[in-house]
Structure 1
Amino acid sequence: MNGHLKVLVVDDHELVRAGMRRLLEENPQIGFIFEANSGEEALEMAATQPFDLVLMDISLPGINGLEASDKLLSLAPDSRIIMVTGKLEGGHIRKLLNAGVRGYITKGSSSDEMDKAMRIVMDGEQYLSPDVAQQVAMDVINGDNQNPFDKLTSRESEIITLLLRGHRNRQISSNLHISEKTVSTHRTRAFEKLQVKTTAELVRLAIRFDLWNED
């Protein structure tokens, strides 16, 4: 890593952001550290200035880390994103890496491991911490545990996310600027892939894979 890197830390917990800031401040290659407490705020910041590196929590209120990363990479394709998570889910990891995320570490990672991850990612490679890599391998071996939401296309994922937020077809049509018929078609295909028939079944499945909560 060369020069003074601009790093954005995205996490909804102030204590977590403060802890990561302290670790980052020890790295002489990092010159500027910014913070965002939500995916929405991160996107607003990324729209006005480029970041060399983004440390993104996956479990965020509103737009989650997966959605935020996908949208951020659309805004700034050259940004390097490392997901920082407290939970290990192989399906999410594979989907994020396929979408362009460069690294995946846990919140229990040491400062040395975080420095290693940043160095490798900024050099253009991907990095998975050992426990994350093990989880990915286990999920490949135990194929039955694969997250069914990984089968969805980007458009289907958008529609399912809005359904989980309580939106109806007409609202989704307006939000995504597509016809209600198109919404219905994508919804039907998504339900078939997820093997659910009702919104209630969809909610139960989302809860099972930690994609939705009742709060």
Structure 2
Amino acid sequence: MKESYEFSDVIICDDHYVSAIGVEMLLSQHSSRPLNIRKASTGEKVLELFTQKSSDLLIVDLGLPGISGIEVIKKIRQMSPTTKIIVLTGQNEPHLLKQVYQLKVCGILRKMGTGKNLGEALNFIQTNTDKTYLDTSVTSILKDQSQATPTPREYEVLELMSKGHTSEEIAKEMDCSLSTIKTYKARIMNKSGAKNSAEMISWYLKRN
């Protein structure tokens, strides 16, 4: 059954043409009234479109050429605070999805299973103004990350890192090889979603 949504102007930002067309078709199928749908393939183009005219709803991918999807979200938040934002992405990196979730967008969906999930998300954001719609795969990824717990040896590495020790010093302190420390760090990065040592330390300090 088609729904009567509160939005009439939609911008779809996806650098994959087929994906953007697919989303446009799904929107038309779900809405009971005509929608003005504009499309962009880059973050820069989205900002240009918003400069010309704001939009009720932005559906944006994360992996964009040029300005990233996350940067687009931050800029649109400043340009048009009332615009609802749904992230539709093929990305499954926990740290990226967590970043997006922390931006308090209206919905986060993986591209697989888009049809059903997009319809649910559109209905959800009609009545939930302070919550984020998450499809089941995103929920699972975020849950797995939040439950990721370092081993005692990994905790030891994190503690020494937080005290400013280098990898060489940590290896000597823990009486193991430098390659072992690098392995520990790689595991910690995977569990924490951190991209560098500073983010690993920040993650460690928040847990303690």
TM over 0.5: yes
Structure 1 alignment gaps of length 5 or more: 150-190, 196-215
Report sequence identity in percent: 23
More off after superposition, 32-41 vs 45-54: 45-54
1:36 deviates by 0.5
Q: Does 1:37 align with 2:41?
A: yes
Ranges in structure 2 where 5+ consecutive residues have no aligned partner: 150-187, 201-208
Q: Match for residue 83 of structure 1?
A: 87
SS at match of 2:52: coil
CA RMSD of aligned residues (A): 2.0
Distance 1:121 1:4 in 2: 11
Distance in 2 (CA, whole Å) between partners of 1:19 and 1:108 is 12
**1:17 maps to what in 2?**
20
Q: Tell me if the contact between 1:56 and 1:82 (Cα under 8 Å) persists in the aligned partners.
A: yes
- Looking at structure 2, the residues matched to 52 and 109 of structure 1 have their Cα atoms a distance apart, in angstroms, of 24
Pair 1:130 & 2:136 matched:
yes
Indicate conservation of the 8 Å contact 1:73/1:100, yes or no: no
Aligned-partner Cα distance in 2 for 1:36–1:44: 9
Task: Return 119-128 or 5-14, whichever deviates more.
Answer: 119-128
- Give the AA of the match of 1:136: L
Question: Following the alignment from structure 1 to structure 2, what is the Cα–Cα distance between the partners of residues 96 and 43?
Answer: 18
Query: For the residues of structure 2 that align with 1:3 and 1:68, how far apart are their CA atoms?
Result: 23
Q: How many residue pairs were aligned? A: 154
Q: Would you say the 8 A contact 1:4–1:32 is kept in 2?
A: no
Question: What TM-score does the superposition give when structure 2 sets the normalisation length?
Answer: 0.68
- Please say if residues 43 and 69 of structure 2, whose CA atoms lie closer than 8 Å, have aligned partners that are also in contact: yes
Q: Counterpart of 1:164? A: none
CA distance in 2, matches of 1:117, 1:146: 28
Larger radius of gyration: 2
Aligned in 2, Cα 1:67/1:13: closer, same or farther, shift over 3 Å? same
- Is the contact between residue 10 and residue 38 of structure 2 (CA under 8 Å) also seen in structure 1? yes
1:139–1:146 contact (8 Å) kept in structure 2? yes
Is the 2:13–2:20 contact (alpha carbons within 8 Å) kept by the matching residues of 1? yes
Residue by residue, what CA displacement relative to the aligned partner does 1:13-43 show, whole Å, maximum 9, x if unpaired?
Answer: 1111111111111122452111011011001
What is the letter of the counterpart of residue 131 of structure 1? S
Q: Partner of 1:113: helix, strand, or coil?
A: helix
Within 5 Å, which residues of 2 pair with 1:1-215?
A: 2-3=5-6, 5-29=8-32, 31-123=35-127, 124=129, 125-143=131-149, 144=188, 145-149=191-195, 193-194=198-199
